[in-house]
Amino acid sequence: MHPTRLSTDEIETYVRDGHWTLETTLDLYARFAVEIPNAIACRDERHSYTWGQLDTATDQLAANLIGLGIERDARALVQMASSCREMVLRIAFKKAGIIGAFGPLQWRRKELDYVRERIKPELVVISRDATDDDEISCLDNATTVNHRIDLSDRSLNGWIDWTEVCDSTPGADVRDQLASRAFAFDEVSLITVSSGTSGLAKLCEWPEGAQSCMGRVLGERLGILADDRVGIFSPMSGAAGLLVWTISAATPCTCVFPSTYHAAALLDLVEAEDISVITTVPVILARLAAEDLSSRSFNALRVLRVGTAAADVDAARSFEDQTGCQVIIASGSMECPGFGHAHVTEPKEVRLDGSVGLPLDGCRLRIEGGGVPPGTLGELNVSAPFAASGYWDDPVATKAAWTDGWYATGDIGVLDENGRLTLQGRIKEVINRSGHKILPAEIEAEIAKHPNIFDCAVIGALDKEYGEVPWAFVQLREKLPFEADEMIEALKATGLAHYKIPARFIAVTELPRVSGNKIDKKNLLQLAT
């Protein structure tokens, strides 16, 4: 499938300028299988694959998928825990010419049904054991779904067993089709899904060229080496896990997948596997930093990348001070990742200065259409060769979001004289209190400084007198107290304008989250009722 918003001339420009190459991720993986067949490509609690084994396993799975009769450019809806077998499946899809859409494990029928109706998948890959009966029934009766693979290894009622489709020996006739089925550099091979914090998920299409470009520039920014062991400490259904995984096609590092995201278990894995690089999300970083790290030995660990949502800079500094590991702040969206990204060579006072850094190579930024001086606050627009090529089967939404190649992020940002980006929240989240505009991110940053606060979120609540007022939801550190009056005085002491002080503070056991561990602000008000 040709990318929606990219013309042939634009693609040729990307190639001419060196952003895209004619090589696909499959070409690069195949090279590793020949040049370093015995090097470890990925590892998890149950499995380990060398590059040679990965090439063989993905060839076999791809051929068996073709043997099922699945058409080229057919879509597949997948919901699975990130592991070696997800890496196998993603590569096999590319070889079979199947466009995969991987949804978060937190999704239930509403979200799955929406994506299923949008992409009309011919194949579904899911664990029956982890899926509600009503969703299984819905998938059984879906007219477009011709094939259903059960990850729980118990094929029932017409479902195909995962082990069977992986281990069966395909015929020579389908193996011969692999070369013609594999995606080219200028074809869409992946659909990513947004977290849906502002509504139903947006489905972003990704050409092979953009994925290869992302892996290369991100690996360069992080200084990834072939002997690195990279801990994928965030699901690959979200950007933090997926984007760093793409590096493995540019640099043959080893991807290590955890069986759980509990902080202590992750730290155990870092020590046991000599992990040198971690990718994760802010809430997991905060939990890692809160652990007792004094008795830990992180001899290999040198880089931790944190992205997807706004990171707690204090947690980042704490983790770096305790471990000696450089924390790299990153920011972006599914539509255009990497529009802000610290560099591994930058000193800590620059990397952790409260900004999200400079954009990745090839990415351009502008505020409010450009032409404004440094320090001007406004909507951030971005353009990059590694951006999504549009929304799946939605030209109207694509046209509304992109203008002449520039994507309107909906983020409020400011660029300094060096081009470093600082984000100040989302336009849709701005609170209008009797004409005064309030940025939730500004208040959240001050509340987060309180030693008893683990995380917080500020939203606008309807008010009869002022129209809207800020409410603050706070998640406390375990067994620690919280006094709203004390917090109000602390906020006043910072010099914060009185109209920005939250009218109400609500302590919660856990802030609700969506995929990527972003706080689900849409559902916060329900916690206060």
Question: Are 443 and 414 within one domain?
Answer: no
Percentage of residues of the chain with pLDDT beyond 70? 98
Question: Are 310 and 349 within one domain?
Answer: yes
- Please tell me the predicted confidence (pLDDT) of residue 167: 94
The distance of Cα 188 from the centroid of its chain, to the nearest Å, equals: 18
104 pLDDT higher than 70: yes
Domain count for the chain: 2
What is the C-alpha separation between 104 and 98, in angstroms, rounded?
19
What is the C-alpha separation between 178 and 181, in angstroms, rounded?
5
Asked if 35 and 251 count as a contact pair (C-beta separation under 8 A), the reply is: no
Q: Which helix (H) or strand (E) holds 272?
A: helix 263-273
Question: Are 418 and 472 within one domain?
Answer: no
Question: Are 439 and 452 within one domain?
Answer: yes
The residue with tokens 């493995």 is 248
Q: Is residue 481 part of a domain?
A: yes
Question: Are 371 and 441 within one domain?
Answer: no
**What are the structure tokens assigned to 356, written together?**
């999200």
Q: Is residue 30 part of a domain?
A: no
Among 306, 290, 308, 288, residue whose Cα is nearest residue 298: 288
220 pLDDT higher than 80: yes
Question: Residue 411 is part of which domain span?
Answer: 208-380+407-426
Among 430, 470, 478, residue whose Cα is nearest residue 447: 470
The mean pLDDT of 504-513, rounded to a whole number, is 91
- Please tell me the predicted confidence (pLDDT) of residue 515: 66
Comparison of pLDDT for 517 and 409, the residue scoring more: 409
- Please tell me the predicted confidence (pLDDT) of residue 479: 79
Asked whether the whole model's pTM tops 0.95, one would answer: no
- Please tell me the predicted confidence (pLDDT) of residue 501: 95
**What are the structure tokens assigned to 228, written together?**
């690195």
> Helices (H), strands (E): how many in the chain?
19, 25
The mean pLDDT of 16-44, rounded to a whole number, is 98
Asked if 105 and 235 count as a contact pair (C-beta separation under 8 A), the reply is: yes
Question: Are 354 and 450 within one domain?
Answer: no
**Residue 120 CB contacts under 8 Å (≥ 6 apart), including other chains:** 75, 144
Among 186, 211, 144, residue whose Cα is nearest residue 4: 186
